[in-house]
Structure 1
Amino acid sequence: MALAGVRVIELAGLAPAPFCGMVLADFGAKVIRVDRTKVPVSLDTLHRGKRSVAVDLKTAEGRALLRRLCVQSDVVLEPYRKGVMEKLGLGPQELLTENPRLIYARLTGYGQNGSHATAAGHDINYLAMSGLLSRLGRSGEKPLAPLNLLADFAGGGLTCALGIVLALLEREKSGKGQVIDASMVEGAAYAGSFVWKSGSIGMWDRGRGENLLDGGAPFYDTYRTQDGKFMAVGALEPQFYLQLLKVLELDPRELPPQMSFSDWPELRRIFSARFASKPQAEWSRLFQGTDACVTPVLSLDQVSSHPHNRERGSFMKDSGGGEFPRPAPVLSRTPARPSPAAHLTTGEHTVEVLQEFGFNSEEIEQMLAAGVVEASTERSKL
């Protein structure tokens, strides 16, 4: 796989950093999640392909252990607020001194400097600070955050993974590691570059929810079908718009012009009535094979059975039968091979990992007995 041989230490967290680690693991990196001790159940669901080591970082021995893991690895992924790792004596200055090739990725909401650097926050706050939240939502309504996808995952986890891969690539030339300052505010804003760049060509001149791509246009929206399901319409270009009208059995000569903003409410009323006249399956059949840019809005339990997704193998199952999206993108020679394991127990691989890092059985026994580390596996495996 593309990242085979890359060793990653992921400090346990939630959402963005675990997603970043999972992406790296899917493409071949050996990702070790460092969990806290005395936490029997982890809330992290993005643990695919990782191994867990439980370490008590409140002890000097635990911090020394983590230091040893980090300086013998390629990447450290930490999700803590500014200053936490420095207080532990495990900041990038200390670790890169011992391992100059280390990639130290810091994934936070606001970044490592600035007035908000130490402030708490969540996806909705980072999205708000990026400027993008102001553009999301229906006309006349309050801004609406689209799940926690844009800041946590697109601007956070995925952008951080890109930064790590870029740093690893650069290290091949320089032989040196570096620090990655991944801010979810800036990552989300960067993912929204199109909003800034297209403003100059009049794409966002109108208010929130009144433009081409934000639900304002009746030909770029969703419509309820007869059976209470929905169809997604994206017929932006004139040639696609004409195909939309053809399937809906509407005569363009009897309708206002496509780009007549003042007539958009009337067009939406007409489209709504048409889509409400047939069930989703019938509309899907009618639009199949056309370039009208109309597709069914699939639920999570429908996506894997859709013919297109099934033909591509776009969704997979873990050992417990749970479905998940196939890692993307698809590489022709070194594709991702996600682990089929359904669960990861805190401390499940403590003994195994410590042995890989050169600790002998006696040392491991002493750390287990002192509570410096925890292992969910039987200690007879020593």
Structure 2
Amino acid sequence: MSSSNPKHPIGSAAMQPGTDQGACSPLQAIKPLQGLKVVELHAIGPVPFAGYILAQLGAQVIRVSPPSDPQLGVGVAARFDLLNSNKSAHALDLKSRQGLDALEALLEDADLLLEGFRPGVLERLGLEPKSVLDRHPRLVIGRLSGWGQQGIWADRAGHDINYLAVAGILHAIGPSQTPVVPLNLIGDFGGGTMHLLLGVLCALLQRSQSGKGMVVSTSILAASVGLTPMFYGLIAAGIWHLQREHNLLDGAAPFYRVYRCADDKYVAVGAIEAKFYRELLKLTGLEGKLDAGKQHDRASWPASAEALAQAFAGKTRDQWASLAERVDACVAPVLDFIEASQYAHNLDNALYEQGEQQAFVRPGQVLGFSRL
């Protein structure tokens, strides 16, 4: 942080004139990170997503990519590459002296450097974090690797599914026969991106007190493990079984699963609490046919699930969604991405950006800031 912006608690550099920060909705009126300068070294997945969120919140994000492959082999046209929207792009060959000098110039007034290389890559480029901090003592360096900076797997390639496998998460998801691949939302984004953001923002806050930058390091594996403490407590308490489809939250419970409807679409049921379960039985016409008092009797679960399945098969998804709007039964329609972007409740909450300024619909800023 420089003295040029003393009022900003964690940022310093001014936004470049003309930087496109996207359409402004009510949720976007306040940009709490305006004045923060971020340099993001080329990567795919969680690190670009971190930069994307920082840019949404007002930060100036500069993406540094190799001239030979600016899109890192992803093959998505720039206008569809949303994780790199609202960023300025610099093509630098970091294996050359000229490229490193250009990066050093960018870091001169930067607040944050983000990188997602395998362990040792920064060092081989001549960007060993200690020496970078010696030259830029107020810089915060955020490092996100796949497997961690040390250990026998540190240098291995991997993707979300691999990290979830070793974190114990993949084993717990899906029907009893085979684990289910849960997109890359858990390890990459929910784990890696969010823990990286939490870490670097904590470091920037601490820098506002100490005046010194630091290195923040995590991995997608570590961040995935970091999502699981509740389950270890449940296992220790004897409440959670390691076998899939034997637990409250993994589809075994008839009141916490997905049901097929008459039109081959689905509804999601999450009626965990007794009062919501009673409403579910009323909604489906099963009040008096299923004993609400046996909700958590595991021996009754298969028969209850069959009864609920038959009930939901009698109407379309949208019919159930309409009926569910009138009661608190924790029943929701299972929507695809496009349906979600057009769903009335989501639009009421301005969750998507669409209209003349956007070539196609996309998620908007989901954090709301106001001075009431």
TM range (shorter): 0.7 to 0.9
Alpha-carbon distance in 1 for matches of 2:115, 2:91 = 15
Which residue among 84, 91, 94 is the counterpart of 1:57? 94
Equivalent position SS for 1:301: helix
User: Within the alignment, does 1:277 sit opposite 2:314 as a pair?
Assistant: yes
Equivalent position of 2:5 in the other structure? none
Equivalent position of 1:350 in the other structure? none
Shift of 1:70: 2.2
Equivalent position of 1:288 in the other structure? 325
Let me know the Cα RMSD of the aligned residues. Answer: 1.8
Q: Deviations over 1:300-351 (max 9, x none)?
A: 11113222111111111374432222223222249xxxxxxxxxxxxxxxxx
Shift of 1:189: 1.2
**Cα gap change, 1:3 to 1:163, in 2 (>3 Å):** same
Q: Which has the higher contact order (CA 8 A, sep 6+)?
A: 1
Q: Deviations over 1:68-99 (max 9, x none)?
A: 22243111101111111111111211110011
Paired-residue identity, %: 40
Alpha-carbon distance in 1 for matches of 2:39, 2:255 = 47
Shift of 1:229: 0.8
Alpha-carbon distance in 2 for matches of 1:289, 1:159 = 38
Alpha-carbon distance in 2 for matches of 1:180, 1:82 = 14
Equivalent position of 2:105 in the other structure? 68
Equivalent position SS for 2:123: helix
Alpha-carbon distance in 1 for matches of 2:48, 2:249 = 31
Equivalent position of 1:186 in the other structure? 222
**Cα gap change, 1:217 to 1:206, in 2 (>3 Å):** farther
Letter in 2 for 1:321: A
Which residue among 338, 346, 350 is the counterpart of 1:309? 346
Equivalent position of 2:278 in the other structure? 242
User: Within the alignment, does 1:38 sit opposite 2:75 as a pair?
Assistant: no
Equivalent position of 2:3 in the other structure? none
Alpha-carbon distance in 1 for matches of 2:361, 2:127 = 37
Which residue among 38, 43, 52 is the counterpart of 1:8? 38
User: Within the alignment, does 1:195 sit opposite 2:231 as a pair?
Assistant: yes
Shift of 1:65: 1.5
User: Within the alignment, does 1:128 sit opposite 2:168 as a pair?
Assistant: no
Alpha-carbon distance in 1 for matches of 2:222, 2:71 = 32
TM-score (norm 1): 0.83
Contiguous gaps of at least 5 residues in structure 2: 1-30, 75-80
Equivalent position of 1:328 in the other structure? 366
Which residue among 129, 150, 158 is the counterpart of 1:92? 129
Equivalent position SS for 1:302: helix
**Cα gap change, 1:333 to 1:27, in 2 (>3 Å):** farther
Q: Which stretch of the first structure deviates more once superposed, 201-210 or 287-296?
A: 201-210
Contact 2:112/2:139 (8 A) holds in 1: yes
Equivalent position SS for 2:84: coil
Q: Which stretch of the first structure deviates more once superposed, 98-107 or 260-269?
A: 260-269
**Cα gap change, 1:126 to 1:206, in 2 (>3 Å):** closer
Letter in 1 for 2:283: V
Q: Which stretch of the first structure deviates more once superposed, 323-332 or 9-18?
A: 323-332
Which residue among 261, 283, 287 is the counterpart of 1:225? 261
Equivalent position of 1:213 in the other structure? 249
Q: Which stretch of the first structure deviates more once superposed, 284-293 or 256-265?
A: 256-265
Contact 1:128/1:134 (8 A) holds in 2: yes
Equivalent position SS for 1:233: strand
TM-score (norm 2): 0.85
Contiguous gaps of at least 5 residues in structure 1: 335-382
Equivalent position of 1:170 in the other structure? 206
Contact 2:290/2:304 (8 A) holds in 1: no
Q: Deviations over 1:264-310 (max 9, x none)?
A: 11111111111010111211111113111001111111113222111
Letter in 2 for 1:9: V
